[in-house]
Amino acid sequence: MRHGALLTALGLVATGCGGASAGAGSGAFASTPAAPSSEPSSFEEAVLALPPCDPSPWIDGEVPRLTAPFEGGGSDEAAAAGITVLPRIRNQEELTHALGREFVRIMVALDGVPAGTARFWLLVDARGEVAALEVAERTDYALLDAAGSRVALMAKMTPAVRSGCTVPVWVTYPVTFQRGRLRGGGGG
């Protein structure tokens, strides 16, 4: 039985999250609607074609941290850092399938259906690759935390943009495990 059919049989549904832009409607940020497929969009192609910014340090010497950009947040931190386009998840379908596979393994290992949300800080580099991960918030289950981190590290994103070039940023990335829903990256 394929994992999608198994998840359906168990009453579990994996939901996507896209990467809705923070500050939508404010005019401050470029619109980044969720792409339903893995096909590159013109938005993704345009952002990925931008050159990286000069690697000179940020004003405060640290890469900015954007809280919850995949859940509609992060706009204040982004505006303060001069970021006009927030990172966007490019491989949501792959992440959703990976999350489903991980959840099935955990249910078998724990002989049940655990629930919880783990939050991670991901360093998204100027190419949109996840370069580092820090745990921001743990669940009550080490297996969920480990599975969430494995899935989070698989994320492929468009990079953040400042002054017409790409820059690295830290973003929070939630992974939620619960009966009926599996979410990576918020939304859903």
Q: Which is more confidently placed, 169 or 3? A: 169
CA atoms within 13 A on the CB side of 168: 18
* Helical pair 142-153 and 92-110, crossing angle rounded to 10 deg: 160
Query: Residues with Cβ < 8 Å from 63, sequence gap 6 or more?
Result: 123, 167, 168, 169, 170
Q: Which two tokens stand for residue 174?
A: 């939630």
Q: Model confidence over 90-134: pLDDT tens digits?
A: 999 999 899 888 888 888 887 777 788 899 999 999 999 999 999
Residue 42 has pLDDT above 90, yes or no: no
Closest CA to 20 of 28, 29, 31, 10: 31
Mean pLDDT highest for which of 69-73, 105-109, 165-169?
165-169
Assigned token pair, 84: 């006009």
pTM of the model: 0.69
* Percent above pLDDT 90 for the chain: 29
The 10s digit of each residue's pLDDT in 46-66 is 888 888 887 655 555 688 888
Alpha carbons 16 and 133: distance in angstroms, whole number? 21
